[in-house]
Structure 1
């Protein structure tokens, strides 16, 4: 079971690795379009704004289509064979599922308690996926469908069909199976998911009237539900609908900025509903504390690698308020650690609210400055100083709590994996290694061939996948696996063995090596079948 969980966690890195660059570009372009910071240069009618708006819209592609990204990305890491075909199967079957949901709700929406006549959007319970109006199931729906498709693919892709049905084998056969499986899955979704959404609606009404405790519980739920996609149903009605204030917190705050700035009353007295837009605090200060804990607990010889991973994704969280790159780095490695993060988020927002801080602090530093600190700082600077001091305090809280838990429970956060050795090369070392590799034919294919041989050959491999840097395998006979020194000689950085689970530490080009590795396994299997050699059990 642990091997399967680790395999799933490794597969999550495939789509997650896209987040860092997309988040940075979203943050930079948003900054360059802000009139509060750049003045008339960022006027919406000017060429400067319009060019950056093009970049901004492109940067949000990944985040606006996260269900599609995950439904395509997960099979890359989870499919045991023909990964590219598995991705196509997952996409088509996921779209089929959403068309089924759309048609069911178009015909019988009222039967399932869904008003399908409203436009899809935040707070409606509906979303548009690739132009299909459907239930807003977020990433949880995508992950669920991808998991079903991968299971079908791994089990039935190689099913032998009669010759006259040969056109239906392979990916077509998986699509046929998935098509019929999605019919009951779609009915279950429209039966169960709206009830979950209604329950969240009742909870929102409670939170709106619960004072500081409501703000804390709201912030906790807004974090803990991120993996399911249900967090949209927590924050959207507060920020964009009428749960807390008419028109939503975002619109109300913007419309009344001049009025608030001219008043001498405490901000909390003027706009108590602004406590439901404080969750940018954990995005900025919590993210810094978490990143520092990861770096501090990483093994000494891996700190440089960990810093290279953490710096861009932490900047993305701090500047743009996009936390998925950082949170997904440990969410599927250790879910309890993510739960601790959610608890600390609730406490941080509750204390910040009790200190009198309100406003629109749902994003990163750009939003903090542009729509809070800059227009309001002249009068409420003491409130914002308290806010920053609380944030700095919680950097320390996050750091201490995460570091203590990671060390006491030996959590394998980035840089703590059981690697044999990670060596960092100078430029001269690199040139020599490259020259030696070219001389010895140490290409992707050569390394894959050497690894396959050192693992006991294709017949000894149960399944294979990869994370960001490792080739992860299950072998049938562990005694056939060579020592770590053999793998290092073939170009690996190290070897980790736990029972029948083997990890070959390849580096950032692991995906290329895996492709060659699987091609060789497929050829070995085909050659054995042609020769009439039975497969090893």
Structure 2
């Protein structure tokens, strides 16, 4: 069970690699879509050939990333779960993804199902009505030139996870001397080529049932309307301390649970896929379909991340003891600006979610309410972060149809709601937010920047206690040999916003956006490549 928990958190971390890429690509797409909209830039600019060619090129590059997301997730999943020799795992995952879909394709061909026999026209010729024919045709796709089931990102994750299992078992295998060349890390892709096509054959047999199950869950959430958005928004915040919110997010963004749409006879599954298709193929997706998808995306986060949490930061500052206000001011200002601009909230959330369950639950419920109200007001703002960048690029530059002003209106309401509720609870329940800690905790000095990396390593139990170091957007993720050697107070003295022990061997130290630099310096000090 402990190993399983560790693997789940490693998987959640791995998902951040492709997400960080497509989040940036999504912003490029949003800006490009706005610049090609005559209502925003004017007819004269829209008629300029060279600028429009450049913008079109940018859209094609970003569109290619979204079209191949399943492969990106396969590679990321394998890298995240590989114990060592991660480049080999990535290489094997690419092979595994391709050969798995070859197995699916071969099974479909044996059933008489090909790209030619599953077009809407061919199915109608067999007696299907138009709607049923289009829905059936949408179940299949050409992936890297291979005719296969439309498994979207889930297919990539399956290939990546299975490749990681093979890799971890086989990368140290030694073969007899005569064939020793094929042992070790070279053995991994060989086994992958043998196993993954068979997995594809099995998937081809069971995928229709899996697809029906996912579609049923998606239909259930879809029928729940705004309440589905409320449940999603609340659950996503409640899962923040565990790191499992990444998995919930990807499920909604890339599976039928987040919505289904048909574009040019091809089915798009998942809220983010639908939204990005509306950017890469303007006019191809009805606005109502896009709105159904964006109820799970950035629009529900904007009132909370741009307005609510900065107001909570102000409340924490005002509730701090006078002698600590200067220190707390610097901390809260940095965290509030990060939340407002980029939508990265962990540096601020970890200041209160572990010290006050009441504030934690209140914040989660207000987040869910925001998702529900933005859906109720028919907003159409996509992408994944929810900060000012998303509001400007995908809301304001998207024009009136995005109804972006409602997010600001709710945000202005959330400012006093967050500020007064947080300040009241902190003072009434004597919550030990920054600047209100006990005297023993207050006495913990902050180390100098030059000594920080040494102290971080010391706080993790020393170099001999550290097995692996990595990071996501805001957290230093470390696998240690013995958890009792980890000292929270020492780590907090290095400027951390919180320490989260997610299993008996996995600990996360929350530093905020600067964590990438910290992780690199820790690895360098440990001699980790």
TM-score of the pair, normalised by structure 1? 0.59
1:79 and 1:153 in contact (8 A); partners too: yes
- Distance in 1, Cα, partners of 2:377 & 2:517: 44
Q: Residues 66-122 of structure 1, C-alpha deviation per residue, up to 9 Å, x if partnerless? A: 2222222334433221222222222221222122222222332559x9964569x99
Moved more, 474-483 or 27-36: 474-483
Query: Which has the greater radius of gyration?
Result: 1
Task: Name 2:73's counterpart in structure 1.
Answer: 70
Q: Which residue of 1 aligns with 2:409?
A: 392
Q: Deviations over 1:370-406 (max 9, x none)?
A: 88738xxxxxxxxx98x845873488579979x999x
Which ranges in structure 1 are unaligned for 5 or more consecutive residues? 243-249, 256-272, 315-324, 375-383, 409-418, 523-537
Cα gap change, 1:85 to 1:106, in 2 (>3 Å): same
Q: Check conservation: 2:85, 2:185, Cα contact below 8 A.
A: no
Task: Tell me, in whole angstroms, the C-alpha distance in 1 between the residues paired with 2:257 and 2:194.
Answer: 30
Assess if the C-alpha contact under 8 Å between 2:303 and 2:370 holds in 1.
Answer: no
CA contact (8 A) 2:227 2:372 kept: yes
From 66, 85, 105, the equivalent of 1:102 is: 105
Runs of 5+ consecutive residues of structure 2 not aligned to the other structure: 122-133, 234-247, 268-277, 317-327, 354-360, 384-390, 427-440
2:400 aligned with 1:373: yes
The Cα offsets for residues 107-155 of structure 1, whole Å up to 9 and x where unpaired, read as 32559x9964569x99712334334332222222222222222232233
SS in 2 for 1:474: strand
Partner SS state of residue 160, structure 1: coil
Q: Residue by residue, what CA displacement relative to the aligned partner does 1:157-203 show, whole Å, maximum 9, x if unpaired?
A: 22232222322223322222322332342133222333344567789
1:234 matched to which residue of 2? 259
Q: For residues 241 and 391 of structure 1, do their structure 2 counterparts lie closer, same or farther at Cα, with a shift above 3 Å needed? A: farther
SS in 2 for 1:72: helix
Aligned twin of 2:204: 190
CA distance 1:166–1:91, shift in 2 (3 Å) = same
Q: Deviations over 1:472-509 (max 9, x none)?
A: 33333456668965x899x8969947454444678322
What is the aligned counterpart of 2:291 among 266, 278, 281? 278
CA distance in 2, matches of 1:307, 1:33: 33
Aligned positions, number? 430
Q: The residue matched to 2:516 in structure 1 has which SS?
A: coil
**In the aligned structure 2, how far is the partner of 1:346 from the partner of 1:483?**
37
CA distance 1:49–1:488, shift in 2 (3 Å): same
> What's the secondary structure of 2:174's corresponding residue?
coil
Match for residue 481 of structure 2?
476
Return the alpha-carbon distance in structure 2 between the equivalents of residues 58 and 497 of structure 1. Answer: 38
Cα contact 1:10–1:77 (8 A) shared by 2:
yes
Spell out the pairing of 1:450-489 with structure 2 (5 A cutoff). Answer: 451=457, 455=461, 457-458=463-464, 460-468=465-473, 470-478=475-483
Query: How much is the aligned-residue C-alpha RMSD, in angstroms?
Result: 5.7
Would the aligned equivalents of 2:311 and 2:416 in 1 still touch at CA under 8 Å? no
1:512 aligns to what? 520
Q: Counterpart in 2 of 1:352?
A: 377
Structure 2 length normalisation: TM-score?
0.60
